[in-house]
Amino acid sequence: MNFLPVELLGEIANQKVLQRKDLTKLACVNRRFNEAASTRLYRSGELSYAGITDKDAAKVDSYEKNGRFVRTLKLNLFSLPTSTISIPTAIFPLLTAFINLHRLHLTDSATLPWPSFLHVLAIVITSHPHLKILEVQRTLTKPDGRCSFPQATSLIESHKAKNGRFSKLDIFILRLSKKENPYLISRAAMNNLIEVLQPATRSAKAFTYSADCWESADIDLKGAVNGEDRTASAWEWDNLEEMTLKFPEPDWPVVGSSALVGAANPYWAKNLSFQRDLGNITRLAVRARAEHLVSGGSVAYFIRGFEAMPNLEHLRITHSGRAIDLDPKSKPDHPFYHLAEILPKLKYIEQVDSYYLNRRIQCLEVLRGEDDTIRFKHVDLEGIWIGYYQWDQ
């Protein structure tokens, strides 16, 4: 059963806040639903469906009683243009019922106002101390980042004042898109996300940042107060081990440096999201070909990024589909040799598909001789990276 009966939707569609009895009805209707708990919450308070895992279905009398069994939740946020009901208010009883939530996939296709979206994020990280995997997906609009968000900041500050527990994430996945001109991720919007999510994300061991367009390289936008320029913030990490960057692969020389750890232009390099706390990273996946990472001249935009990751051991890059990728031994000036020289602890270079960055085409082990010679050996690696779960496929 993928959808609730129309008559049940009619009973709850116009309520500002979902009552416990509504949650009970939803649980009863969907006790045979064989997916992880999934919810689509419209701004009116309407749910398109809510189910829990087949294993726990028999235990469900209501979400109030048995919400603790739900470990995985996919939540798609939608708002109705004619509605004046606050989605954070409507969503609060639903989220707080799932107290032992372990994974959350939160999606908003730009239908929520930016302050409301940030408020939902604040509710999530302040009410779910056991949350370990968070995926946030948002389509950005022009106003995003240009307004204040007092509800989110107030909730976070009051939670800190009470010594409340925040989520301590192991895996953080951020997916952003922009459908309006200019086709750039707003630095101010990124600042807002960092401000709200930082208490929960700094503990992450794996970070995936996926975007269908580049970040703005500017210090960005006038502030909400007195119209002053704001400095771009950076994600802070306590012990980040794995990072995946998924940006459009073509035209790196044009705007690629604005989304990377380092850039040839010092003015851009100081305004990036990833320039801090990268010394513990051992695994990096990036949507780029080897020659774009290390070639000379204006194309080598990632050199300073590698300097920030001296302990990098495992590198995943995009396969270009050309014969040069297959046998670096045939050319001493092959980009793989340059990568091995730049990264003294590099052990493996994986070439993967350009979309998921996890479908292996070939893997080369880096062999270093006593005379500083570098050789490559084809190997088959087992295991999986921290950040790659079913949802990231």
- At 323-334, the pLDDT tens digits run 556 667 766 778
The whole-number pLDDT of residue 66 equals 52
Determine the average pLDDT of the residues in 256-262.
39
- At 239, is the pLDDT very low, low, confident or very high (cuts 50, 70, 90)? very high
Instruction: Give residue 286's pLDDT.
Output: 87
State the pLDDT at residue 41: 33
Per-residue pLDDT at 131: 93
The one-letter code for the residue type at 301 is Y
More confident residue, 272 or 205: 205
Assess whether the previous peptide bond of 182 is cis (omega < 30° from 0).
Answer: yes
Average pLDDT over residues 257-282: 55
> CA nearest 212: which of 269, 238, 250?
250
Instruction: Please list, residue by residue across 104-140, b when 16 or more beta carbons sit within 10 angstroms of its beta carbon and e when fewer do.
Output: bbbbbebbbbbbbbbbbbbbbbbbbeebbbbbbbbbb
pLDDT of residue 49: 31
| Beta pairing class for 348-352 and 242-246 | unpaired
β 72-77/133-140 pair status: unpaired
C-alpha 207/C-alpha 375 separation (Å) is: 31
Q: Which residues contact 194 (CB under 8 A, 6 or more apart)?
A: 233, 234, 235, 273
Looking at residue 217, what is its pLDDT? 58
Q: Can you give the pLDDT at residue 61?
A: 39
Find, among 125, 58, 44, 52, the residue nearest to 91 by Cα: 44
Q: Which residue has the higher pLDDT, 65 or 199?
A: 199
Tell me the CA distances in angstroms from 332 to 80, 289, 347, one per residue in order: 60, 17, 18
Instruction: Give, rounded to a whole angstrom, the gap between the first and last alpha carbons of the chain.
Output: 24
Arithmetic mean of pLDDT, 207-222: 71
Q: Which is more confidently placed, 390 or 98?
A: 98
More confident residue, 75 or 91: 75
Determine which of 64-78, 172-186, 236-250 has the lowest per-residue pLDDT on average.
64-78
- The residue extents of the domains of the chain are 6-392
- Tell me what pLDDT residue 170 has: 95
- Average pLDDT, stretch 149-168? 96
Q: What is the pLDDT of residue 229?
A: 59
Hey, which residues does 184 pair with through a beta bridge? 214
122 pLDDT tier (thresholds 50, 70, 90): very high
Residue 357: pLDDT above 80? Answer: yes
pLDDT at 355 over 60: yes
Radius of gyration of the chain (CA): 23
pLDDT for residue 124 is more than 90: yes
> What is the pLDDT at residue 260?
42
Q: What is the pLDDT of residues 369-383, one digit of tens each?
A: 988 889 999 999 877
Give CA–CA dist 36/98, Å, rounded. 12
User: Of 13-22, 35-44, 282-291, which one has max mean pLDDT?
Assistant: 282-291
Higher pLDDT, 361 or 326: 361
Q: What is the average per-residue pLDDT within 320-325?
A: 63
Q: Which residue has the higher pLDDT, 304 or 118?
A: 118
Question: What stretches of the chain show up as alpha helix (H) in DSSP?
Answer: 6-12, 20-29, 54-57, 63-66, 87-97, 114-127, 150-161, 187-201, 252-255, 266-269, 290-294, 303-307, 335-342
